[in-house]
Amino acid sequence: MRRKANKYVKFSSLGIQMGLIIFIFTKGGLWLDDYYHTKTPWYTVALSLTGVIGSLSLIIREVIKMNNDDDSKKN
């Protein structure tokens, strides 16, 4: 039971990390668009997509790592 609870805590922290990464990259894009006075928010679009891709790769790596840890403990 304790092991299962640790997984839930790990996944909830991954969600928080994902949200923060996307938020920070989006705010950076907004700042760059404001700084360079762009008419179309290309910096915001590019950096927010970069944040999404980066956070998804973080989640995928962590899930693979958790799966490998579980497999090694079963054997």
pLDDT category of residue 67 using cuts at 50, 70 and 90 = confident
Condensed to tens digits (0 to 9), the pLDDT of residues 8-58 reads 788 888 889 999 999 999 999 999 999 999 999 999 999 999 999 999 999
Question: What integer pLDDT is reported at residue 50 of this predicted model?
Answer: 98
Tokens standing for 17? 């990390």
Question: What integer pLDDT is reported at residue 2 of this predicted model?
Answer: 61
Of 54, 61, 66, which is closest to residue 19 (Cα–Cα)?
A: 54
Mean pLDDT of the chain: 89
